[in-house]
Amino acid sequence: QQCQNTHTTSKQSMSCKRLVAFALGSILLLTTLFFLSNRNEHSDKYNGIDSTITDMVHVVICSQSSRLTGAMATVNSIYTNTDRPLSVHFVTDTNSQVEVEVALKHLFPMVQSEVVVLPEAWLAGKIKIRGTRTSLGHPLNYARYFLEDLFPKLETNVLVYLDDDVIVQGDIGELASIDLGKHAAAFSSDCSPEAKHLGLFANTYDGFLNFNNPYIQSLGLNPSECSFNAGVFVVDMTRWIANGVKQQLLHWLELNTIENIYGSGPAGGGSQPPMLITFYQAYTFLPFLWHVRGLGSPTGANLPDDVIKRANLLHWTGRNKPWSASPSTTNHRAIFKQYRVQLP
């Protein structure tokens, strides 16, 4: 009331101003403390957290403008279903870089992220596609070979690599925390007991590799060995680098340009065969529910509803993607739509 008195002295006026300033400052402080103590789960996640924090989950996704709808749905599903600090490391091409950066900043300002461009010169003259699926020759399909070069600051971290046509229904922190044992990486086998029970995934090494080639014969691989899918994997970068994985992958990639090592078989070529050779009987098995795949092919129609509901990760492997195919040719499109976001 004294401060409202128009007849106060100059000294009293100054004192009142200080009192008002103190009161306003106290209110601001109390308001801030109240907000910090009561903010919801999605308001404080990850923003400003350093990438070296011990429980940070590092996720690598490769995509481009034409598939960005799928990639952003992937990010949304990861973010929605985890409470762990999240860092998304995005690999794209030069033409898509700005669009990807804008989408991540606009849609997920609370998620720590970075966007890097894959130098296509790294793969110049090193890719040979023998089948009809020429899309397998896109350089971004091979970005997973260069993890240590694309993300040098993560050379001692565990990374989760995801294709851009997956939806994560479980907590990505559980996937990142899988015990890799003595191995550098974990993949999902095409011959897990669950897959056999459901009649899924019959791929074996002879579907990918040319066992008539002397280079393949010299390795002593079993043609009937069950393959794995390289679209989802967990990797310990320390072991990846120590084992020279990149160098092994590039060796087989380049050799295939002058020798028929892979790509002419029924399973096709692309980036997968060099990984099958490099990680032959040398990887940890991912639990079946952490990579339920085939949703983009007729196989997906055979997956029981209870498996779809329980799956921690769904993968639309195959030609039909949930963001582009018609509802009549896409399995379980409704699940994808739950996480689809409008691009800016």
pLDDT tens-digit readout, 151-161: 999 999 999 99
Does position 8 have pLDDT exceeding 60, yes or no? Answer: no
The per-residue pLDDT for range 292-323, each reduced to its tens digit, is: 998 998 878 888 999 999 999 999 998 899 99
Specify whether the CB–CB gap between 311 and 169 falls below 8 A. Answer: yes
Task: Compute the distance between CA of residue 212 and CA of residue 152 in angstroms, rounded to an integer.
Answer: 38
pLDDT score for 22: 46
Q: CB neighbours of 182 closer than 8 A, spacing ≥ 6?
A: none
pLDDT score for 267: 82
pLDDT score for 324: 82
Does position 235 have pLDDT exceeding 70, yes or no? Answer: yes
Q: Kindly list the distances between the CA atom of residue 301 and the CA atoms of 113, 190, 199, 204, in Å, as whole numbers in the listed order.
A: 35, 17, 12, 22
Q: Once rounded to an integer, what is the mean pLDDT over residues 334-343?
A: 96
For the chain, where are the alpha helices, taking DSSP H only?
10-38, 68-80, 97-107, 147-150, 172-176, 193-198, 214-217, 237-242, 245-255, 272-278, 305-310, 333-339
Phi, psi of 61 (to 5 degrees): -130, 135
Q: Kindly list the distances between the CA atom of residue 334 and the CA atoms of 188, 236, 328, in Å, as whole numbers in the listed order.
A: 25, 34, 12
pLDDT score for 298: 84
Residue predicted with more confidence, 202 or 61:
61
Question: How confident is the prediction for the chain on average, in pLDDT?
Answer: 86
pLDDT score for 202: 74
Nearest residue to 154 via CA among 233, 18, 60: 60
pLDDT band at 14 (very low <50, low <70, confident <90, very high): very low
Q: Once rounded to an integer, what is the mean pLDDT over residues 119-147?
A: 93
Q: Once rounded to an integer, what is the mean pLDDT over residues 18-39?
A: 39
DSSP letters of 39-79?
A: --TTTSSSTT--TT-TTPEEEEEE--GGGHHHHHHHHHHHH
pLDDT score for 196: 76
pLDDT score for 41: 36
Task: Compute the distance between CA of residue 315 and CA of residue 21 in angstroms, rounded to an integer.
Answer: 57
Q: Which own/partner contact pairs does 273-277 have at CB distance under 8 Å and 24+ positions apart?
A: 273/208, 273/209, 274/145, 274/248, 274/249, 274/250, 275/144, 275/230, 275/249, 276/205, 276/208, 276/209, 276/227, 276/228, 276/230, 277/209, 277/219, 277/221, 277/248, 277/252
Specify whether the CB–CB gap between 166 and 232 falls below 8 A. Answer: yes
Does position 212 have pLDDT exceeding 90, yes or no? Answer: yes
Q: Kindly list the distances between the CA atom of residue 235 and the CA atoms of 85, 178, 190, in Å, as whole numbers in the listed order.
A: 18, 10, 19
The per-residue pLDDT for range 240-297, each reduced to its tens digit, is: 999 999 999 999 999 999 999 999 988 888 999 999 999 999 999 999 999 999 899 8
pLDDT score for 135: 85
Residue predicted with more confidence, 10 or 95:
95
